[in-house]
A and B are shown apart, each in its own frame.
Chain A
Amino acid sequence: MSAPNKSYDPVEVETLKPEEIERMRDEALAAFAAAGDLDALQEAKVAHTGGTSPLALANREIGALPPHAKADAGKRVGQARGAVNKALAARQTELEAERDARVLVEEAVDVTLPYDRTPSGARHPLTTMMERVADVFVSMGYEVAEGPEVEAEWFNFDALNFGPDHPARQMQDTFFVQGPEGAGAAEGESGVVLRTHTSPVQARALLDREPPVYVVCPGRVYRTDELDATHTPVFHQIELLAVDEGLTMADLKGTLDHMVQSLFGADMKTRLRPNYFPFTEPSAEMDMLCYVCRGESVGNPDRPCRTCSSEGWIELGGCGMVNPRVLVACGVDPAKYSGFAFGFGIERMLMFRHNVEDMRDMVEGDVRFTRPFGMEI
């Protein structure tokens, strides 16, 4: 820094005149205000706060003033520069906010665009329906029992009190498995069939476990029906078996009521009608209240119900008290234990629970049918 110049008249230093400093400040403030974007502000910043800006140059002149004038001029320049910097920062913040807002607008997208990059998968409703029903009972303490689909006749018929000539045995349209070659291939000679119901699992469960036995048995079964809108040779059943001391038909009724309430709503109930099955005695056909019309379509032609054909009840399946002969064949003492059992078709339940009109839709594997059912049912 050079030594103070004492030879000039301070009045003659134009840039440090108060009005000049005010002018420089005002010019800077005006330039910032006029800057329309961050680039323009940057230019104004260089012009009015940079090393060669008028105020910076003015600041440099202060040193040349006589000591008595320095403080005054310094104060004036300092205040002016303070005001300029403050205005700059404010404008900077303002313009940045404007820019940020604009960017967000510019980045907006059409959120309605699809994203079907990988089509969704689904489980088959027959699978999930069986699980759903099984879970009702698993939560009560039942276990899930399984058995083979190709089954010995003894399990499928004999152990269930279908004698060799029992008329009921002829009612079942059974697929018979060919016997070993050389041993003849006539009907029945292998003693092996495709199981016609899930009931053989009852016998297996009783042989595998010590009473009390509480099991459900979902699975695939086979009968020699041609595929059409209401029949399929391969279908699914779920079977329930409870064997314990003192079980009664009232317990059977209560268990059925609980099931339909769990699947169809709290006010649901079942109805039993006498029927005949070799493996239960007494036997019953079970109906459930129509969950759609709750029976109100009966005798009410103005409000027909297509789910129950205005019958008020939907036929569900067969049930009864386990025939003591079945217990004997499975080594369970009928004097000590009694039991109940029931079984019904999953396809049928799917048809009326989900308005599936054609059995073929359930067996053809068309993805358009299965997808809407998702993961659970």
Chain B
Amino acid sequence: MRVPLSWLREYVDLPATETGRDVQARLIPAGLEVETVEQVGAGLKGPLVVGQVLTIEELEGFKKPIRFCTVDVGTANGTGEPQEIVCGARNFAVGDKVVVVLPGAVLPGDFAIAARKTYGRTSHGMICSGDELGMGDDGSGGIIVLPPEIEVGTDAIELLELVDEVLDIAVTPDRGYALSLRGVAREAATAYGLPLRDPALLDVPGPNAFGHPVQVSDPLGCDRFTARTVTGLAPEARSPIWLRRRLQKAGMRPVSLAVDVTNYVMLELGQPLHAYDRSRVQGTIGVRRAEPGEKLTTLDGVVRTLDAEDLVITDDRGAIGLAGVMGGANTEIDDTEGTTTEVVVEAAHFDPISIARTARRHKLASEASKRFERGVDPEAASAAAQRTVDLLVLLAGGTADAGVTEVIAPSAPRTITIPADHPDRVAGVAYGRETVVRRLQEVGCDVYGQDELIVTVPSWRPDLTDPNDLAEEVIRLEGYENLPSTLPKPPAGLGLTDRQRLHRRVGRALAGAGYVEAPNYPFVGEHVFDQLALAADDPKRRVVKLVNPLSDEEPALRTTLLPGLLQALRRNDGRGSHDLALFETGLVFLPQDEPRVAVRLPVDRRPTDEELASLTDALPVQPRHAAVVLAGAREQAGWWGKGHPADWADAVEAARILARESGTVLLVRQGQYGPWHPGRCAELAVVVDGAEQVIGYAGELHPGVLKGLGLPPRTSAMELDLDALERASAGLPEGPHISTFPVATQDVALVVDRTVPHAAVEAALREGAGGLLESIRLFDVYESEQLGEGRKSLAYALRFRADDRTLTVEEASAARDAAVALAGERTGAALRS
């Protein structure tokens, strides 16, 4: 809502010294978000006067038509001689009254005017357009031609109200009343403690039987309809300058007198109005719901197919307007031919929800629908109609028809009962009953009662429905800035949950290991699953899809973190960072096996557990995953020696890092899955409730996948289900018993088939070595011709120790032999000779 300060002053006697910024500073604490204060005509300096064109000489030989004019500006130029001005515009003629800026003046935008040579003549000033004067769009597209009765030499700055301040207010959805000068003036009056001249307080004749016939068939959709008729309008009548200027400053474009007047009254009182060309309305004006499929051409020229819920205005032919949203073309005021001489003025009140739905359904947000949705004062309808009639009579020489039609559905004033100290208890401030009552009265409420207040809310505040709404009114008028600052004392909390701690620990551990966190958008296209070489029946291909994705290329939600992370890797690589280790933890979205619709539960009570469970069943499963991707060097080469490329082993180690943080035993075994290199893929599993569960994969990615995605060779990755990892956690670690007896170390080198995994050999050694084994570590792996084709050597360091004695060499050797024997039995391992 744009509010010119000069217009606002008409209703409140603000101190003359108050600037727009001052008023802004008062209105913001009252809850009107004045976003900007526009300085209209800032920097403008005269002389700027009304002149009359005396002669026009067309200059030839230039690329565009140019006129050399003489203009009578009276004595404004000091000489009384005609002013010589070169002008490129053509929408004026000899004898027209125009706005002339003289040398020495400054136009908005720091445009200084001086006599200057142009097109072979000297131009002593300019004939002005609306744009040049900072007036905004007047629809003419050329210079301003003024009404002939204005006298030559008149100061145009004052005449055109060129200097003003405009408050631009972002009105919140609950405050429909502030979409009017009347509403903003009420807040300004309260803020300054000044009286309000309410423009809706007009003498209005009572309804009678002579008005234009109106039939409301849907009193729920339309609880009030006022119709007034004005006849004898002068078709050539144009809106006066003051009216046009106010519309312009408020951000509306002047169109024609009848339309301008309805817009003006809407801005003033907040009541949307419609003016029908009476000669084009056939019979009774009706209000009803549309018939399904009914067609209406609205004022914007669009043919609309109506819905059975749309509220329409009709005449004997059918729909002539979309009620409260936009009029129809068939009864439009004729503003080009100027043939309209009789109008029917509609001031009605419609159901906000119905209007909101219609506006949304037809994607048609108009000034009218914006106000009806947010709530219009139904009691102001008659006054608005009267004001419109008055202005039409005044400005277009019309005659007000004696007929007054009013269709009003009966309604009672709304009251809310609150304890007098309710605002005090909401705010935590002792305002006292007197203050509460006074503030509510300033809002427009009628208040009765002592300890219990019976509050009748004003007709323009449909948003006031609950006790807390009244509390807010009191508290905001007393000033949010005056609220004290106190701290509540919550009961002792339990701190972060184990799961929340794990999430933090996982991030720290991976960052500590050199990974950089890269959270990604969860939007994916289904083509990524082909790029990741997922099987046709892979469950990850089942996705949650969006109705309105930002990009049609990515209409689905991720089921794996890899697409986003790999994209981040590629982006970094493209920007010149080649040695990369990235991680992400985040939700993936897995559709339910049997997707359901989430029903809309009631809000007037707690939903039952069954109802809540039905919502849970309608949501996708959303486990938290963790993933890493690596490329380039994991360790760089430098003065210390060689570097080390990131590889499959780093990816697997990342999984082990997570398992350690989670306190979970992680099973790593040879696997094959989707995007991973078939020979370099580890399957990651855990045991939950005695059952093994695969929770992810790690290793080097498939060269074909990397090529397809444009990723660096040997890019490696790991992804696992962090929630599943956490569920498999062994819980609290037990403190180990530390023996202080000496350690006995034995190394063994075992030769096995190259397909035998280390993990199997180690498990056998561990089991075979028995209780004396303290630790085991693989320290060498190699293959050679001596070992034979398809064989490899695994060298282990075994450390033995007893709790109660120093081990003898014989004891340690016996344990080692037992370990080797079991490894031999289980895996075919032989001691290397």
Q: Which A residues have a C-beta under 8 Å from some C-beta of B?
A: 113-124, 126-127, 131, 138, 140-144, 146, 148-155, 158-159, 161, 164-168, 170-171, 175-181, 183, 185-192, 194, 207, 212, 214, 220, 224, 226, 233-234, 242, 244, 246-251, 253-255, 257-258, 269, 271-276, 281-285, 321, 323-325, 328-331, 338, 363-368, 370-371, 374-375
Contacts and interface: CB of A to CB of B under 8 A. Distances in A.
Contacts of B497: 143-144
Contact of B33 (A253, A257, A275, A325): A275
Contacts of A141: 489-493
Given A242-B490, A275-B33, A324-B466, A123 B507 contact: yes
Given A158-B600, A276-B172, A233 B466 contact: no
16 contacts: A117-B640, A118-B635, A123-B517, A140-B493, A141-B490, A149-B622, A190-B598, A248-B427, A249-B427, A249-B480, A250-B429, A276-B174, A282-B468, A324-B466, A364-B571, A367-B577
B765 interface: no
A282 B426 contact: yes
A324 to B, nearest CB: 6
- Name, among A126, A153, A191, A244, the residue most crowded by chain B CB atoms within 10 Å (CB to CB): A191
B597 A153 contact: no
Contact of B598 (A154, A250, A257, A375): A154
A186 B426 contact: no
Given A365-B582, A367-B572, A191 B425 contact: no
B365 to A, nearest CB: 9
Interface string B572-609: 10010101111100110100000111111111111100
The residue in B360, B484, B490, B587 that gathers the most chain A C-beta atoms within 10 A of its C-beta is B490
Contact of A144 (B500, B517, B544, B580): B500
Contacts of B582: 365, 367
B546 A176 contact: yes
A190 B618 contact: yes
Q: For this complex, into which size category does the number of interface residues on chain B fall? A: 35 or more
Contact of B619 (A122, A192, A282): A192
Contact of B483 (A131, A246, A250): A250
A76 to B, nearest CB: 56
Contact of B620 (A150, A214, A250): A150
B571 A224 contact: no
Interface in B442-501: 466-469, 471-472, 475-476, 480-481, 483-497, 500
Contacts of A323: 466, 468
B39 to A, nearest CB: 17
Interface of B: 28-31, 33, 172-175, 352-353, 356-357, 360, 373-374, 425-429, 466-469, 471-472, 475-476, 480-481, 483-497, 500, 504, 507-508, 510-522, 544-550, 557, 565, 568, 571-572, 575, 577, 579-583, 586-587, 589, 595-607, 612, 615, 618-620, 622, 634-636, 638-640, 643
A126 to B, nearest CB: 7
B546 A272 contact: no
A151 B484 contact: no
Given A154-B615, A187-B547, A250 B427 contact: yes
A131 B518 CA distance: 16
B638 A114 contact: yes
A151 B373 CA distance: 27
Nearest to B359: A170
Given A167-B374, A276-B175, A365-B519, A224 B548 contact: yes
Contact of A118 (B589, B612, B634): B634
Contacts of B545: 177-178
Nearest to A117: B635
Given A119-B579, A177-B547, A248-B486, A127 B517 contact: yes
Contacts of A124: 517-519
A273 B31 contact: yes
Contacts of B639: 113
Contacts of A153: 598, 600
Contacts of B480: 249, 271-274, 284
A370 B518 contact: yes
4 closest A-B pairs by CB? A331-B606, A248-B428, A274-B31, A365-B518
A185 B544 CA distance: 12
A114 B618 CA distance: 55
A55 B638 CA distance: 60
B504 A131 contact: yes
A258 B489 CA distance: 13
A146 B500 CA distance: 10
Nearest to A140: B490
Nearest to B634: A118
A211 B605 CA distance: 16
B483 A212 contact: no
A214 B493 CA distance: 8
Nearest to A180: B595
A187 B547 CA distance: 6
Nearest to A329: B603
Given A122-B517, A154-B598, A149 B587 contact: yes
Contacts of A178: 544-547
Given A234-B522, A365-B568, A365-B571, A154 B600 contact: yes
B769 to A, nearest CB: 34
A122 B468 contact: no
A249 B519 contact: no
A242 B575 CA distance: 46
Contact of A250 (B352, B374, B485): B485
Contacts of A144: 496-497, 500
B547 A281 contact: no
Nearest to A232: B521
Contacts of A371: 516
B615 A152 contact: yes
A148 B622 contact: yes
